[in-house]
């Protein structure tokens, strides 16, 4: 069973907390635009991605189980 990162682009304001928690998965530009570098990251990134989801100030991130 796999998992993937889901971003609600209407909620994301580009604070960059996700990039701080999981820089291998998220990148935020100087303009505040979020790029998901790995929509289906390896399991080793699960902890950092969960932290990014937890600490996102606008609750724009989630993990979807496949």
Question: How far is 45 from 56, CA to CA, in rounded Å?
Answer: 16
What confidence score (pLDDT) does residue 60 get? 99
Residue 25, burial from CB neighbour count under 10 angstroms (0-12, 13-18, 19+): buried
What confidence score (pLDDT) does residue 55 get? 99
Domain spans, the chain: 3-65
Pick the CATH number of 3-65 from 3.40.190.10, 3.50.50.60, 3.90.76.10, 3.30.70.20: 3.30.70.20
3-state secondary structure of 25: coil
* pLDDT at position 1 over 90: no
What confidence score (pLDDT) does residue 33 get? 96
> Any idea what DSSP says for residue 41?
-
What confidence score (pLDDT) does residue 7 get? 98
Residue 15, burial from CB neighbour count under 10 angstroms (0-12, 13-18, 19+): middle
The tokens of 4 are what?
A: 């993937």
Give the predicted TM-score (pTM) of the model: 0.93
Give tens-digit pLDDT for 12-55. Answer: 999 999 999 999 999 999 999 999 999 999 999 999 999 999 99
């Amino acid at each position: 069973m796999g998992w993937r990162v889901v971003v609600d682009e209407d909620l994301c304001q580009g604070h960059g907390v996700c990039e701080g928690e999981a820089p291998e998965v998220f990148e935020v530009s100087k303009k505040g635009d979020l790029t998901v570098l790995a929509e289906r990251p390896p399991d080793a990134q699960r902890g950092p991605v969960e932290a990014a989801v937890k600490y996102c100030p606008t609750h724009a991130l989630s993990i979807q189980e496949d």
